[in-house]
Amino acid sequence: MSMQILITGGAGFIGSHLTDRLVADGHQITILDNLATGRKENLSAHLGGANVTFIEGSILDLPLLDSLIKETEYVFHLAAAVGVFNIVNHPLDSLMTNIRGTENVLESAHKYSKPVFVTSSSEVYGKNDSDSLKESDDRILGAPVTLRWSYSEAKAIDESLAYAYWVEKKLETRIVRFFNTVGPRQLGAYGMVVPRFVQFALKNEPITIYGNGEQTRCFGHVLDAVDAVVRIAYAENTIGKVINIGNDYERWIGPDGVDADGTVVKRNQLRMVPIDTSQEDEYSKLSRQELLRRARINGRQQAAKQPAVTNESDNELQRWLQIARGK
């Protein structure tokens, strides 16, 4: 059955692929995007057509947003300030967009009783380095004044708002957390790692690695993510739930230039850049291997062998282990 659907952030990376899918499914789509990180070129296959209406505007413009939600049947809320560089350089704008914008979407949706699909991020887990992350797992963050964590904080608030609207006002909400989604149309300008690597490779330049190369990522293709979004959006048993969307295969480039699957990356093809420690705390600076050596907690929250306490970051880790053990 054809529906009238609003996609906030529909000109962005994931939003434009969701537009492709929903148009193919026969729906009528309205897109609201301020083009801060989105691009109209991402919608070139649809602009001027009968199935997609594009409106350049912001989710902070409440009268505009309200008028669009009033005329729609379902809201996919993807609009957000994204990217590490953007978040650190423009923290206030990012916080306002991600928190107040989501509040506007939820309030208007409640006003007209329209279901809302809210997209969040694996960033909400912060420094939780468990082997597998469940939707109910704890968040472990640095200091509030460390700007690097402001995106995580904002997305967590978005989730809390969406869940509260379901619990208190029975607004039909669904929440998903994306984990390192990659694919066509993703840009490297805002710190996204894969398109940056591709850009370096195409220019035959050394690939820039921030830190020691031991950071891990579980990459998932955008088309798989969109398929999951559509399945979750129309399922009755996902209302009021938070669901992770990602891959369970970790990849990293280690200190010897070898990827997790054994692929060799020549050292002269890499440029290692120290992380700006002004935006990191002691726990953040520990390598993945060191964290796993000190404390490895599996999906059942079982604690690993307890290390000796040597500094404040170790003390924090000890407290975390005690909580995990239920002490």
Percentage of residues in the chain having pLDDT higher than 70: 70
Predicted confidence band of residue 93 (pLDDT cuts 50, 70, 90): confident
Predicted confidence band of residue 281 (pLDDT cuts 50, 70, 90): very low
Task: Give the side-chain half-sphere CA count within 13 A for 159.
Answer: 24
Q: What pLDDT does 178 receive?
A: 93
Q: What pLDDT does 213 receive?
A: 64
The SS3 assignment for 11 reads coil
* 130-139, 186-195, 253-262, 279-288: range with highest mean pLDDT: 130-139
- CA gap 216, 232 in Å, rounded: 27
Sign (positive/negative) of CA torsion 96, 77, 239, 231? negative
Q: What pLDDT does 315 receive?
A: 46
Q: Measure CA 202 to chain center.
A: 26
Q: What pLDDT does 282 receive?
A: 43
**In terms of pLDDT, which residue wins out, 205 or 76?**
76
Q: What pLDDT does 263 receive?
A: 56
What DSSP line would sit under 141-195, residue for residue? ---TT-GGGHHHHHHHHHHHHHHHHHHHH---EEEEEE-SEE-TT--STTS-HHH
Average pLDDT over residues 73-81: 96
In this structure, of 60-74, 133-147, 169-183, the range with the lowest mean pLDDT score is 133-147
Phi-psi region of 221 (alpha: psi -120 to 50; beta: other; left: phi over 0): beta
Record the pTM.
Answer: 0.76
- In single-letter form, the type of residue at position 175 comes to I
Q: Are 117 and 77 in contact (CB under 8 A)?
A: yes
Predicted confidence band of residue 229 (pLDDT cuts 50, 70, 90): very high
Q: What pLDDT does 255 receive?
A: 53
CATH topology of domain 4-182+219-245: Rossmann fold (3.40.50)
Q: Which of 195, 219, 92 is nearest to 150 (CA)?
A: 92
In this structure, of 72-81, 216-225, 250-259, 283-292, the range with the lowest mean pLDDT score is 283-292
What DSSP line would sit under 29-63, residue for residue? EEEEE--SS--GGGGTTTTTSSSEEEEE--TT-HH
Host H or E run for residue 129 = none
Q: What pLDDT does 322 receive?
A: 46
Residue 214 has pLDDT above 70, yes or no: no
Q: What pLDDT does 253 receive?
A: 54
Where helices occur in the chain by DSSP H, the ranges are: 13-24, 62-70, 84-89, 91-95, 101-112, 150-169, 193-202, 222-233, 282-285, 288-294, 312-324
* Token representation of residue 86: 């953007």
The SS3 assignment for 210 reads strand
Residue boundaries of the structural domains of the chain: 4-182+219-245, 278-324
Q: What pLDDT does 153 receive?
A: 92
The SS3 assignment for 121 reads strand
Average pLDDT over residues 74-81: 96
Predicted confidence band of residue 63 (pLDDT cuts 50, 70, 90): very high
* Token representation of residue 50: 């009968």
Residue 64 has pLDDT above 50, yes or no: yes
Residue 242 has pLDDT above 80, yes or no: yes
Residues with a catalytic annotation lie at: 151
- CA gap 312, 323 in Å, rounded: 17
Average pLDDT over residues 252-281: 56
Residue 295 has pLDDT above 50, yes or no: no
Q: Which of 9, 179, 218, 195 is nearest to 85 (CA)?
A: 195
Q: What pLDDT does 30 receive?
A: 98
In this structure, of 161-175, 192-206, 240-254, the range with the lowest mean pLDDT score is 192-206
In this structure, of 66-75, 191-200, 213-222, 292-301, the range with the lowest mean pLDDT score is 292-301
